[in-house]
Structure 1
Amino acid sequence: MTSPELEMKPPAEADLIRVARMARGISPETAAELTPIRLGGARWRHIERGYEPKRPPKRVRAPDKTLAHMARAVGVTPERLEEADRSVAADILREILRQEAESEAAQDKPYADMSDRLERTAWEMPIGVEERKLIVDMLREAKTQGRQERSA
């Protein structure tokens, strides 16, 4: 007699996620922490298995958004999600990757106006980016106050 768990094979995308996670050498808990959505290690394991170990076992299939974030955390590409017949999750993953690329490109640009001597000097200081942004903001505020006082 076979147990119900043995009869429940995980879907193709679940195997893909599990193998990618294992290739990275991380646990389900660590992988779940890498996602920006609320996802725990136990839920990650259920999705990888394709079922929750209840009596009787309950089938589990990751929602598209969850699967896309899981794929991002373990380095699975949108094309590989499509190969596993999860095209909506692949589209969501493409959007996640597009937004990340835009965010990284924006971070590469200096926050300061490099043509302004004071802002450029502040931006080139050997301190953290957040501290530089604070100084640039303070310089801009001081300039605005100076303009308002002159016009009054």
Structure 2
Amino acid sequence: MTSSEQGIEPPPEADLIRVARMARGLSPEKAADLTPIRLGGARWRHIERGYEPKRPPKAVRAPDRTLAHMARVVGVTPERLTDVGRAGAAEVLREILRQEAESDAAQQERPYANLADRLERTAWEMPLPVEQRKLIIDMLREAKSQGNGAERSA
């Protein structure tokens, strides 16, 4: 007897997540690995199916937080979650996206150079385009990692 014969159909959000995952070319295991929360491939499959294969099958509905993280991994928007009746998960996903945007903005504001390092600071302050300054800093870092004494020449 299949799950649909038992009366357990995947909820609309489960189909949405499954199709989006497949469109990204991810297996449930790989998608689960990409979430920052603890989620295994088997659990991902249960959520997509809408049930756990027990006797009798047990209906599964992802909590808002879990669904939001799954949606983030496969590129589902908060609006699409709302469209399938999961406004709570959409709200969590909006917060995840807001925090990521803040983190990205903070990362871009930070200078590429380690300003505590005299050579990197000097390179960063040179009147050159940013990409050239980054190249110089990368070369300094490579020289330091090879141990050729570049850090002592300053």
Q: Would the alpha carbon gap of residues 120 and 102 (structure 1) be closer, same or farther in structure 2, given more than 3 Å must change?
A: farther
Report the counterpart of residue 17 of structure 2 in structure 1: 17
- What is the CA distance between 1:23 and its match in structure 2? 0.7
CA RMSD in angstroms comes to 2.3
Q: TM-score, normalised by structure 2?
A: 0.74
Number of matched pairs: 126
- What is the CA distance between 1:47 and its match in structure 2? 0.1
- What is the CA distance between 1:119 and its match in structure 2? 2.2
Q: TM-score, normalised by structure 1?
A: 0.75
Distance in 1 (CA, whole Å) between partners of 2:95 and 2:123 is 36
Map 1:1-152 to 2 at 5 A: 3-6=1-4, 7-111=7-111, 119-121=121-123, 124=134, 125-127=136-138
**Structure 2: any 5+ residue segments left out of the alignment?**
125-132, 142-154
Q: Give the % identical residues.
A: 66
Structure with bigger helix share is 1
Distance in 2 (CA, whole Å) between partners of 1:118 and 1:59 is 57
**Structure 1: any 5+ residue segments left out of the alignment?**
132-152
Tell me, yes or no, if the aligned pair for 1:4 and 1:56 is still in contact at 8 Å.
no
SS in 2 for 1:68: helix
Distance in 2 (CA, whole Å) between partners of 1:118 and 1:107 is 18
